[in-house]
Structure 1
Amino acid sequence: MKGWKKRGAIVAAALAAVGIAAALVLNALNSNIALYVTPSDVAAGKSPHGQAFRIGGLVKEGSLRRDNLTVHFVVTDLAREIPVAYTGILPDLFKEGKGAVVQGRLGPDGQFTASEVLAKHDENYMPPQAQAALDRASKTGKTQGAPQP
């Protein structure tokens, strides 16, 4: 094989390897992304279907109910409410009336099954999307339940 053909084959192989590596990295990133949505977005049907995502808001007062290791509660942005079920141990800072972010999937019945629960650690911090949703809801003064299937 001549020198220029050998160099061309090496360059082509290197480009193919870089392309395959980039495709694998992008695929891994896409499968690990968890989008953040508010309870109002979920109720409006703007949540990802068949994909894990995060919901953030306040844990509704009086909604916390334990059933062995499964905990049922409601996350609200003061406009809409989403029922959540989580099996596991909750963070120490998780309380009713406080902010929380839950990651999981929405079931066909409107029940959100969480795989991870994050409690807000600082009373002054809230994700910008959740704060905006709470501000909008407090201006309207309305709270509505979860959508019925």
Structure 2
Amino acid sequence: MNPVRRRRLLWVIALVVAAGLAAALVAMALQRNIAYLYTPSEVLRGEAGGHARFRLGGMVAGGSFQRTQGSLESRFKVMDGDAELPVVYTGILPDLFREKQAVVATGRMQGDTFVAEEILAKHDETYMPKEVADKMGMAHKKHDVPASTAQGTK
């Protein structure tokens, strides 16, 4: 092989290796930032098992909200019709956070409790995140809840 072809071949190989390395680094970075959405019943069944950080979606259970005296720690339960999961959050809750309203919390499981890093609340009385609405709709069908009492998406 003459020297010009050899040099071109080395450049092509180096370019392919560099592109492969860049693609692998991008894939790893994206995988770390992905947060899957699960309902409380899916979490309790172990479907969220391998994911260290995920989103928990459902409704804040009525009568479950408690604030620790003298701190920003809040405790409440998120339900999906099949199960309830206790949540702990330290920080300022969104203004629209209420019991019996849709919520999406991002965080990790710590024992039997979900420790939230971020809380997102619905922005008006008819909105619910599509993923949560779909999963809640399946729970309503399973428990024969009439569609008029189920919340939908905008």
Question: Which range, TM-score by smaller chain?
Answer: 0.7 to 0.9
- AA matched with 1:95: R
Matched with 2:74 is: 71
Structure 1 counterpart SS, 2:94: coil
Structure 1 counterpart SS, 2:81: coil
Matched with 1:27 is: 28
Aligned with 1:112 (options 101, 114, 124) = 114
Matched with 1:134 is: 136
Q: Deviations over 1:7-42 (max 9, x none)?
A: 011111111110110010000000000001111111
Cα distance between partner residues in 1 of 2:35 and 2:3: 51
1:37 paired with 2:47, answer no
- AA matched with 1:54: R
Structure 2-normalised TM-score? 0.84
Matched with 1:9 is: 10
Q: Deviations over 1:118-143 (max 9, x none)?
A: 1111333323342233334334279x
- AA matched with 1:56: G
| 1:65 positional shift | 0.6
RMSD between aligned residues: 1.8
Contact 1:38 1:129 in 2 (8 A): no
Cα distance between partner residues in 2 of 1:3 and 1:49: 50
Matched with 1:146 is: none
| RCO higher in structure (CA 8 A, sep ≥6) | 1
Cα distance between partner residues in 2 of 1:79 and 1:141: 12
Structure 1 counterpart SS, 2:106: strand
Cα distance between partner residues in 1 of 2:118 and 2:101: 16
Once the two structures are aligned, what percentage of the paired residues are identical? 44
1:124 paired with 2:137, answer no
Alignment coverage as a number of residue pairs = 141
